[in-house]
Structure 1
């Protein structure tokens, strides 16, 4: 049942098709992105995971990354302003404030002390080295 209620789900599409006026959207600008809209790519090499996350339109000061074992949390404070003025008088002002967060789990623990993050052109790139002590060992069955 919860799959039908979520934003952008089947129920929203039904209302949009039946009565387009019922589905209210901002006249200009985009609404707040849903956590699922933080698109990520995860790549793995021998010693680290490389994560690229799309977080467009967010200042790097408003992005928080935390690591707890093998769980990575991304949080971004979203602020969008769209203001139109005419002759010094504000005719319309639309503001969107909020936060989006996404958590995901990696197969191995991360060495948080060696991890680094870089943000360029709306893409957050994380280099997450694997913790050295967490290697698996195959046992011989006797």
Structure 2
């Protein structure tokens, strides 16, 4: 099982300086997905994955397992509120789609994964299966 994120790249400028270059005002950022912050812990019999999903309703979260790829996706909707007094000086919260994927391997089944969402934190418990050792056999040449 390989729990390395599938969307990691060498030049991840979005997180390079922890959003150092974030715009000073933000409107709806559309359909541009970004990855929520995730903690992955290894336990004796399982992996624990915790993902921050601030401002997201439980009904807007989708966790799928497809061909060994665990994908967490959710959507945070823009709050369109009218300012009666004053104006918004700075708005840093992100709106739009959250996406994060992990390669679990094909041996993990969806019914074995336990999910819980509370206070903006999604917690997943994924069983830790024994890795199959690669078998090397010599092929005789005739």
State the TM bucket, normalised to the shorter chain. Answer: 0.5 to 0.7
Contact residue 108 and residue 130 of structure 1 kept, 8 A: no
Which sections of structure 2, spanning at least 5 residues, go unmatched?
1-9, 89-93, 138-142
Q: What is the RMSD of the two structures over their aligned residues, measured on CA atoms?
A: 4.3
1:35 partnered with 2:31: no
Q: Which residue is equivalent to 1:80?
A: 78
TM-score (norm: length of structure 2)? 0.60
TM-score (norm: length of structure 1)? 0.60
Cα distance, 1:25 vs structure 2: 4.0
Q: Which residue is equivalent to 1:118?
A: 116
Q: Which residue is equivalent to 2:103?
A: 105
1:26 partnered with 2:22: no
1:45 partnered with 2:58: no
Q: 1 or 2 for the larger relative contact order (CA 8 Å, sep ≥6)?
A: 2
Equivalent residues, number: 122
Residues 126 and 111 (structure 1), Cα distance of their counterparts in 2 relative to 1, 3 Å cut = same
For residues 99-137 of structure 1, give each alpha carbon's deviation from its aligned partner in whole angstroms, at most 9, with x where no partner exists.
221112246742311211101111100011245xx6424
SS at match of 2:112: coil
Q: Which residue is equivalent to 1:136?
A: 132
Cα distance, 1:7 vs structure 2: 5.1
Larger Rg: 1
